[in-house]
Amino acid sequence: MVTTLAAVAFIALTVSLGLWQVGRGEEKAVRQSLFDSRLREAPLRLTGGVPTADALLYRRVAARGEWIPERQIFVDNQIRDGRAGFHVVMPLKIEGSPAAVLVNRGWIARDARYPEAPPVSVPRGPVEVHGLATRPPARFLELSPQVISGNVWQNLSIERYRERSGLDLLPVVVLADPPAEGLAAVRETPDAGIAKHHEYALTWFSLALTALVLWIVLNLRRQP
């Protein structure tokens, strides 16, 4: 009886984990489809605030305005080619609008100043920014209780940034293309990991099937 209950619990757990992985894969597949279709659309010019990110997500966008240099932040622990660095993020005040949009200007490596950020120049006057509209990663890894130290942040959250800055922010971040001078471009690859989810799902389903087969074999042997 105990063996049967344990087998049922294990099979239920592994099947549920497999189904969860299938669902995650499907979510990323939908995301990839949206990404691919919107890349074929003409760039959209940002002229002011929008209620949600839905219409902008994965669209190529353009915006004209001026940087707000005092609000530039550096998002720490960003790895590129095996090196740790920062994403350089700054709000762009949109021309003719009270709204602003966060722009990921690019990646820069840590230097001898760490944990402080290295200097990054900021153009003055009106600028034109082009890039891909995305959301910051939804999953956070906070390496310490002190998630913000000056202009260095552990993670980027539009809501957190809006609260601290008081700016009227669009609900997206633009990945600048081309990046700022001296910085490496930050790219979005929404299809990353779809195949892995399918592999993980197959693993969980295989474990469930193995447990079922073992339970059947063991119970057949017990029969007189």
Taking the domains of the chain in order of start, what are their residue ranges?
Answer: 2-27+194-222, 43-176
Tens digit of pLDDT for each residue in 22-79? 887 777 777 777 777 777 788 899 999 888 888 888 899 999 999 999 999 999 999 9
What is the arithmetic mean of pLDDT over 140-149? Answer: 59
Rg of the chain (C-alpha set): 24
Residue 11 zone, left/alpha/beta (φ > 0; ψ -120 to 50; rest):
alpha
Residue 30 dihedral angles phi and psi, to the nearest 5°: -65, -40
- Which range among 17-21, 99-103, 158-162, 173-177 shows the weakest confidence by mean pLDDT? 17-21
Rounded to an integer, what distance in angstroms lies between the CA atom of residue 127 and that of residue 120? 16
Note the pLDDT of residue 98. 95
CA 129, distance to chain mean position in Å, is 21
100, 85 Cβ separation under 8 angstroms = no
Residue 149 dihedral angles phi and psi, to the nearest 5°: -130, 100
Note the pLDDT of residue 104. 98
Rounded to an integer, what distance in angstroms lies between the CA atom of residue 161 and that of residue 149? 13
Residue 173 dihedral angles phi and psi, to the nearest 5°: -120, 135
- Which range among 6-10, 82-86, 126-130 shows the weakest confidence by mean pLDDT? 6-10
93, 61 Cβ separation under 8 angstroms = no
Tens digit of pLDDT for each residue in 121-131? 999 999 999 99
Tens digit of pLDDT for each residue in 97-107? 999 999 999 99
Reported pTM:
0.72
* pLDDT tier, 140 (very low <50, low <70, confident <90, very high otherwise): low
Tens digit of pLDDT for each residue in 182-220? 999 998 766 656 778 778 888 988 888 888 888 787 777
